[in-house]
Amino acid sequence: MSTLKLDLENYKELLQEYIRTKDEQALYQAEQFSKQSMQHKISPDEIINVHIQSLEEIYPEMPEYIQSSMNFLLETMISYGLAYQEHQSLREKQLELKSEISVAANMQKTLLSTVKPELEEVEIGALSVPAKQMNGDYHHFVYDGKGNLGIAIADVIGKGVPAALCMSMIKYSMDSFPEMRMDPDVILGSLNRVVERNVDSSMFVTMFYGLYNFEDHTFSYSSAGHEPCFYYRQDQDEFEEIDAPGLILGVSSESTYVRYEKKVEKGDLVILLTDGVTECRQGERFIEQEEVLKVIKSFAHLPAQEIVENVYRYFERLQDFQLRDDFTLIVLRRNV
How would DSSP label each residue in 83-119? HHHHHHHHHHHHHHHHHHHHHHHHHHHHHT--PPP--
> Which has more pLDDT, 105 or 150?
150
26-39: average pLDDT: 79
Report whether pLDDT(267) > 90.
yes
The pLDDT, as a whole number, for residue 285 is: 76
Radius of gyration of the chain (CA): 32
172-177: average pLDDT: 80
Report whether pLDDT(264) > 50.
yes
The angle at the Cα of 287, spanning 140 to 206, to the nearest 5 degrees, equals 30
**Burial status of residue 150 (CB atoms within 10 A of its CB: 0-12, 13-18, 19 or more):** buried
SS3 content of the chain, % helix, strand, coil (to 5): 50, 20, 30
Whole-angstrom Cα distance, residue 186 to residue 256?
A: 9
311-329: average pLDDT: 86
Report whether pLDDT(4) > 60.
no
**DSSP category for residue 33:** H
Q: What's the pLDDT tens digit per position in 107-123?
A: 667 777 788 999 999 99
Whole-angstrom Cα distance, residue 267 to residue 123?
A: 10
Q: What's the pLDDT tens digit per position in 205-227?
A: 999 999 999 999 999 999 999 99
120-127: average pLDDT: 95
The pLDDT, as a whole number, for residue 314 is: 92
78-90: average pLDDT: 85
The pLDDT, as a whole number, for residue 7 is: 59
Count of alpha carbons within 13 angstroms of residue 78, beta-carbon side: 7
52 pLDDT band, cuts 50/70/90, is: confident
Whole-angstrom Cα distance, residue 181 to residue 103?
A: 35
114-139: average pLDDT: 88
* H/E run at residue 298: helix 289-298
Whole-angstrom Cα distance, residue 111 to residue 115?
A: 12
Average pLDDT, the chain: 86
Q: Do the bridges between strand 122-129 and strand 281-282 make them parallel or antiparallel, or are there none, so unpaired? A: unpaired
Whole-angstrom Cα distance, residue 220 to residue 229?
A: 13
106 pLDDT band, cuts 50/70/90, is: confident
Annotate 140-186 with three-state secondary structure: EEEECCCCCEEEEEEEEECCHHHHHHHHHHHHHHHHHCCCCCCCHHH
Across 172-176, 213-217, 226-230, 282-286, least confident range: 282-286
Report whether pLDDT(17) > 50.
yes
Whole-angstrom Cα distance, residue 315 to residue 290?
A: 14
240 by DSSP, 3-state: which? strand
Whole-angstrom Cα distance, residue 298 to residue 290?
A: 12
Contacts of 161 (CB under 8 A, 6+ apart): 101, 104, 134
Torsion (CA) 245, 251, 252, 256 in degrees, nearest 10 = 20
295 pLDDT band, cuts 50/70/90, is: very high
Q: Which of 31, 32, 37, 28 is CA-nearest to residue 8? A: 37
> Which has more pLDDT, 177 or 250?
250
The pLDDT, as a whole number, for residue 320 is: 76
Which residue ranges form the domains of the chain, and what is each CATH number?
Answer: 2-91 (1.10.1240.30), 114-334 (3.60.40.10)
Whole-angstrom Cα distance, residue 270 to residue 168?
A: 26
Q: CA distances (Å), 145 to each of 15, 18, 186, 301, in order?
A: 86, 88, 15, 33
Report whether pLDDT(6) > 60.
no
The pLDDT, as a whole number, for residue 41 is: 77
Q: What's the pLDDT tens digit per position in 190-210?
A: 999 988 888 877 788 999 999
Count of alpha carbons within 13 angstroms of residue 19, beta-carbon side: 11
Whole-angstrom Cα distance, residue 210 to residue 213?
A: 10
pTM of structure? 0.72
